[in-house]
Structure 1
Amino acid sequence: MSDERLSALEARLQVLEDERDIARLIAAYGPLVDAGAAQEVAALWTDDGVYDVDEVYLEGIESIAKMVESSAHQAWIRGGCAHVVGPPRITVDGDEAVAVCHSLMVVHTEAGFVVRRATANHWQLRRTAAGWRATIRTNRILDGRDESPALLASGARGQRP
């Protein structure tokens, strides 16, 4: 195999490994947040990472960990909830990446399980010494507002919002 072909193969393999690692990071969010694993959830982000949700804007891993430890979040866990994250569409560009996916928050009620919210998720990620980490995660409820499908479209195109 020529050096050129070997280099091309290595580059393709690196992209596949990056996509796999990012998909694993995104897939870890639901189980970790539902387990109340605050430090592990926070570790999915860079130290200065941002989690921008409709109701709250969290900056820094300490804020993200506190959200998981909060009485409100702990009440969701005690009542029964599942943060279900769909498969991401990932675009890798060197040491930066964008991913987009849907998520559902399913909660247990007296009537059974119900979907509390369906959300558009846009992730911006960076390769760090510790592996891929989220720098900004933006979530918007899919309730008919224009912003939510625009967030999905930008991520599907590999763009930042």
Structure 2
Amino acid sequence: MKENQVLRTLEDRLRDIEDRLEIYSLIAGHPLSADTGAGYYTRQVYVEDSVFDRGPLPGAQGREVIAGFIQKPEHHQAIAGGLAHFTGLPYVEIRGEEAFVTSYLQILTPDITGEERELPNHGFSKGYRIHRVLANRWTLLRTEDGWKIKIRKLIPIEGSTDATDLIKQGLEAFAEKAV
């Protein structure tokens, strides 16, 4: 193997690592922006003609409209009530200039009617309740300014095959190799 072939392989590997770190950071920023009403974050990470498909709930098209979701008074009321978006580590697939991210999202809220209990060394709390668990599928594009969100599809996990099918998309590359 020639030296420049090894160097190219190392460049490809480094680019993959840098891409993944950028994508992980982009996706990790979503809960923080949603829980603080940071519309400026949404405007920076979505492409102009992006799509937010919320399954059975009203969705949005366009970066400004999507950013407007977290600017609504109802959303700020949820934030004031203790809204917390909690995500797991996303599964990332990079295919050239596109990337696909599959992840889970839990929406948590304080349990204001719960019984107060103590956790040693952590104080008292009425606890939290899981309001909803959702499946996320993000389509990202590589742009001059880094990775940006083109499409986000979000479906509640409530026993429907829609959510399961969305999650399965994250494993398609493995299924193709298994054949």
With normalisation by structure 2, the TM-score equals 0.85
Q: CA deviation at 1:158?
A: 5.3
User: After the TM superposition, which segments of 4 or more aligned residues of structure 1 sit over 6 Å from their partners?
Assistant: none
Q: Does 1:7 align with 2:8?
A: yes
Greater strand percent: which structure? 1
Give the equivalent residue in structure 2 for 1:142: 157
Q: How many residues align?
A: 159
1:135-154 CA deviation, whole Å, 9 max, x = no partner?
00000000000010110011
SS at match of 1:101: strand
Give me the CA root mean square deviation: 1.5
Give the equivalent residue in structure 1 for 2:109: 107
- Note the 1:16-27 alignment, pairs <5 A: 16-27=17-28
2:146 maps to which of 131, 136, 147: 131
- Structure 1 residues 78 and 45, CA, compared in 2 at 3 Å: closer, same or farther? same
Structure 1 gaps, min length 5: none
- Note the 1:2-151 alignment, pairs <5 A: 2-54=3-55, 55-110=57-112, 111=114, 112-151=127-166
- Structure 1 residues 19 and 158, CA, compared in 2 at 3 Å: closer, same or farther? farther
SS at match of 2:59: strand
- Structure 1 residues 158 and 73, CA, compared in 2 at 3 Å: closer, same or farther? farther
What is the rounded CA distance, in whole Å, between the counterparts of 2:69 and 2:21 in structure 1?
A: 27
What is the rounded CA distance, in whole Å, between the counterparts of 1:113 and 1:44 in structure 2?
A: 30
1:89-118 CA deviation, whole Å, 9 max, x = no partner?
111011111110101000123123111000
The one-letter amino acid paired with 2:10 is L
1:25-74 CA deviation, whole Å, 9 max, x = no partner?
00000011101111212322111111111312111111111100011111
Contact map agreement 1:98 1:158 (CA 8 A) in 2: no
Q: CA deviation at 1:156?
A: 2.9
- Structure 1 residues 85 and 42, CA, compared in 2 at 3 Å: closer, same or farther? farther
What is the rounded CA distance, in whole Å, between the counterparts of 1:158 and 1:138 in structure 2?
A: 19
SS at match of 2:89: coil
The one-letter amino acid paired with 1:94 is G
**Higher-Rg member (1/2):** 2
